[in-house]
Amino acid sequence: MAKQFDTVVKGGTIYTATDTYVADIGIKGEKITAIGMNLQAAGADVINARDLQVIPGGIDPHVHLQLPFCGTVSSDDFYTGTRAAACGGVTTVLDFAGQGTHDNLMAGIEARMKEARDKVVIDYSLHTMVTGFKKLKNPLKEFQRLMEFGVASHKMFMIYEREGWNATDDDIFGAMLAAQEVGATLCMHAESEKVMNYLVGMALKKNLGAYGHVVSRPNFIEEEAIQRAIKWASATGAHLYVVHMSTGGGAQLFKEAQAKGINVHVETCPQYLVLNDEVFKDKKTGHYYATCPQIKKKEDCERMWKGLQDGEVAVVSTDTCTFTTKQKAMWNGDFTRIPFGMPGVETLLPSVYSFGVRGGKFSLNHFVSLIATNPAKIMGMYPQKGTIMVGSDADLSIIDPDESRIIDYKKLASNCDWSPFQGWKLYGFPKFTLSRGTVLVRNGKFDEKAGRKGRGRFVKRGPFGWRNLSRPWYVPDHKPQVPAELFGEGAKSDNSGRKRAAVGV
């Protein structure tokens, strides 16, 4: 008799964003092909999941592996970074492809894929980084071409003028108009460049060390930019996704915008939930914690946990951008020269599991929505990724709820000589991680042979799948405000529905 499955996950408790039940999962090749009781396991690799929690593999929609920044390159590359991800139960990451000096976005995607291809251990996808919008000959065609290729989201920066990356209001507006025509998502780094630079100038005179990073970016720097980005999304009808939100006030703005039916989503990161800006006061290590935006206050952490509970904050990502202590030392006392970023993808699930689920803030099902299902839907990968169902990729993270670890950077897979969570006790590390059916982590240990370099694949994504989302505020009943007369034939009667129907979500 031919074996029915290659792998059977036996007797675990399955948690999706909506359901909890005990069942076996049958995997054939790369897919989940059956879910049920007493699946035929003859000849299969049997994973005993009794008393374990079986969840979809984590999706981190925001990492920067081997990113050139501040005259150095982030120390986790596409191999060490995706290996670390697997060790933390993450099975898909989304990185970014810079536009560079090109007059198109595809060249950057191709270059980045070349860098990633032979190194990735898990599946990955890419957002573009639109750092020269005015150089694009035809943004609409460009976004269309990328959508067909499977790149459904584009990032813009409202800051980084010095680096030549920043998008001005007209760039953002133009990009949003084009993005909404093809159903693409505009990802936004929202901070207010001009006022921030003014404050940076003031802070530099005060000799505050790494704490200068804090006083030069008070909450209104992020809040004003979020407000502006939401305004343009409201006017154009584009789907806006603000990345790495750090302020409680920002969460409030999203709550209000979503209540009006404006098509906007937002993510935050563990560093903005479990750390606060006291860390910058340490003269020796303060600068390690510099991220962009910076870590804020306790009240902000609390407001964002609330946002995660209530739903206006839909995703926890990491903004992983690993720099070693040696790289961080390049700041030389000037807080504007710190390579921004920290390791994170490996501790994403454990940190949110420990403080969110075990901390009593939300259920394990809700946790699954935040770290897998919502990012999959918002980024156009659902239901191939982000859930456990027949036909989905066999991406699983299997957790022993009683097992904890004391974080020690020496034992983490990330290529880094420090951890923001050094010495912390965290639960939620995977006992098993499966990526498209391959067992990458077995009994808590990474399988070097199974997890070979380059086995990961590029995930082709589709338009923003709002029809798939179950929350009522995902229904875009908001009417854009750009005058219909500015658009072509047929646009006049229904400005809100302009070509959206053609997208096929």
Residues that bind Zn ion (CB under 5 A): 319
Q: How far is the CB of 67 from Zn ion (least distance, A)?
A: 8
Of 113, 159, 144, 109, which Cα lies nearest the Cα of 129? 109
- Give me the least distance between CB of 64 and Zn ion, in Å please: 6
* Token pair for 371: 């770290």
Under 8 Å CB-to-CB from 74, ≥6 apart: which residues? 64, 65, 66, 67, 321, 322, 323, 339, 341
Closest CB 243 distance from Zn ion, rounded Å: 6
Written as one string, the DSSP assignment of 289-347 is: G--SSPP--HHHHHHHHHHHHHSSS-EE---B----HHHHGGGTT-GGGS------GGG
Please give the torsion angle defined by the CA atoms of residues 421, 425, 428 and 432, in that order, rounded to the nearest 10 degrees. Answer: 90
Kindly state the smallest distance separating residue 48's Cβ from Zn ion, in Å: 39
CB of 457 to Zn ion, least distance (A): 23
- Rounded least distance, CB 387 to Zn ion, Å: 26
H, E, C per residue of 79-142: HHHHHHHHHCCEEEEEEEEECCCCCCCHHHHHHHHHHHHCCCCCEEEEEEECCCHHHCCCHHHH
H or E stretch at 147: helix 139-149
* Collapsed DSSP state (helix, strand, coil) of residue 433: strand
Min CB(188)–Zn ion separation in Å = 11
Shortest CB 14 distance to Zn ion, Å? 32
Which residue do the tokens 């935006």 mark?
293
Q: Which is nearer to Zn ion, 222 or 319 (CB)?
A: 319
Residue 74 or 180 with smaller CB distance to Zn ion:
74
In the 8-state DSSP scheme, what is residue 355?
I
- The CA–CA distances, whole Å, from 420 to 62, 269, 300 equal 18, 13, 18
Nearer to Zn ion, 69 or 220 (CB): 69
CB 271, min distance to Zn ion, A: 12
Measured from the CB atom, the residue of 60 and 400 that comes closer to Zn ion is: 60
- Residue 93 Cβ, how far from Zn ion at the closest point, in Å? 12
Residue 189 burial (CB count, 10 A): 23
Nearer to Zn ion, 156 or 441 (CB): 156
Taking Cα atoms as reference points, which of 369, 249, 264 lies closest to residue 309?
A: 369
- Nearest position to Zn ion, beta carbon: 319
* DSSP sequence for 240-303: EEE-S---HHHHHHHHHHHHTT--EEEEE-THHHH--GGGGG-TTTGGGG--SSPP--HHHHHH
Which residue number, 44 or 352, has a Cβ lying nearer to Zn ion? Answer: 352
| Residue 456: closest CA among 125, 51, 11 | 125
For residues 128 and 168, what is the distance between their CA atoms, to the nearest angstrom?
Answer: 17
